[in-house]
Amino acid sequence: MFTVEANGKVYNLDRLAKFSWPNSGKPVILTCKLGSLDWQFRTLRPDSKSIYLTAEEAGNEKLFTMPADGGEVTLAMDMTRGVYTGLKIPARAAATLIVANWESAMNPPEVFRLDLKSKTQIALTNFNTDQVAKIDWQPLRHFWFTSKAGKRIHNMIALPPNFDENKKYPLLVLMHGGPNNMWRDNWGLRWNYYLLARPGYVVLLTNYSGSTGFGEKFAQSIQGDPFAGPGNEINEGADEAIRLYHFVDGSRQAAAGASYGGHLANWLQATTTRYKCLDKPCGFDQPRISMGHQRHDLFS
């Protein structure tokens, strides 16, 4: 991977570059026209004619392919849930064999064989299948809205166990760090959406300006506007979730974040009174979030 020269931007996408051998000379950038996504080089096909890449896109990480000499990138495996990681192609296989880890917010990583012709994935391991089937949860729900500033903003929500569409639930707005990061439909331990939802929250995950997976310009757009722009989008995301989902109780809202998300929590505390409490996430099994020395119970 090749990082672009200094251009005054704090964040730039990596570019995939090719060098001649044995005299390297100047690199030839293969992905110079691909500023729309954050490409990650994964592996070459055994005949060295094609490159396989993965890229974040709106909460997922998808598989793409392109000619090794550069050219058009095409989507090799689409998905609506989860992410691909750890892609491998055995060099000595009789035919091109693609193996990768697949995971989602509801599925710990397992090893899969990817069949690009049929566009299917076949599980090679099932370490956690039986345990996962015992958990009461639902896939993340995605929605988009256009912000007042004219940007398309991606969001996901996680629902609590024993979810009843006809009940009302408090909203927990969770803000990611980075800021050049993305809420992904992936398995997590530190920020497990469903553990945070467990006490009875609907958890909102907004990919505000600065997030990856939505193009280089979108990720760079937080520069010079680190708080007001993202903060407005986070509040507007909460408004849209309340409008779209009748089971969200707009009178009971909380927000939490760590790292850059903690900075955003400080910004929200100083600029809005809509949240009953703001803080870094507390104990996963507690239906309360702290602010200062006080405790606020969103269920009272």
How does pLDDT run across 247-267, given as a tens digit for each residue? Answer: 999 999 999 999 999 999 999
pLDDT of residue 186: 97
- Half-sphere CA count of 215, side-chain side, radius 13 A: 10
Exposure class string for 239-263: b at 16+ Cβ within 10 A, else e: ebbbeebeebeeebbbbbbbebbbb
Tell me what the mean pLDDT of segment 19-33 comes to.
74
Gyration radius (Cα) of the chain, Å: 21
Please report the beta strands in the chain, taking only residues with DSSP state E, as ranges in sequence order: 2-3, 14-15, 17-18, 28-29, 39-44, 50-57, 60-67, 74-77, 83-88, 98-104, 107-115, 120-123, 141-146, 152-158, 169-175, 202-207, 248-257, 277-279, 288-291, 294-297
- What is the identity of the amino acid at 134? K
How does pLDDT run across 102-147, given as a tens digit for each residue? Answer: 999 999 999 999 998 889 999 999 999 999 999 999 999 999 999 9
Task: Give the separation between CA 11 and CA 251, rounded to whole angstroms.
Answer: 37
- What domains lie within the chain, and their CATH numbers? 2-131 (2.120.10.30), 141-297 (3.40.50.1820)
Share of the chain above pLDDT 90, in %: 60
Given the DSSP bridges, would you call strands 28-29 and 17-18 parallel, antiparallel or unpaired?
Answer: antiparallel
User: Is 80 exceeded by the pLDDT of residue 93?
Assistant: no
Query: What is the CA angle 129-133-135, rounded to 5?
Result: 125
Given the DSSP bridges, would you call strands 60-67 and 74-77 parallel, antiparallel or unpaired?
Answer: antiparallel
Split at pLDDT 50, 70, 90, the class of 41 is low
User: Is 60 exceeded by the pLDDT of residue 297?
Assistant: no
CB atoms within 10 A of CB 84: 24
Mean per-residue pLDDT of the chain: 86
Tell me what the mean pLDDT of segment 8-29 comes to.
80
- Rounded to 10 degrees, the C-alpha dihedral 235/222/80/39 comes to -170
Task: Give the separation between CA 78 and CA 119, rounded to whole angstroms.
Answer: 8
The answer to whether 179 touches 210, Cβ cutoff 8 Å, is yes
Please tell me the pTM assigned to this model. Answer: 0.88
User: Is 80 exceeded by the pLDDT of residue 279?
Assistant: no
27 backbone dihedrals φ, ψ, rounded to 5°: -70, 145
How does pLDDT run across 143-199, given as a tens digit for each residue? Answer: 999 999 999 999 999 999 999 999 999 999 999 999 999 999 999 988 899 999 999
Coil, helix or strand at residue 141: strand
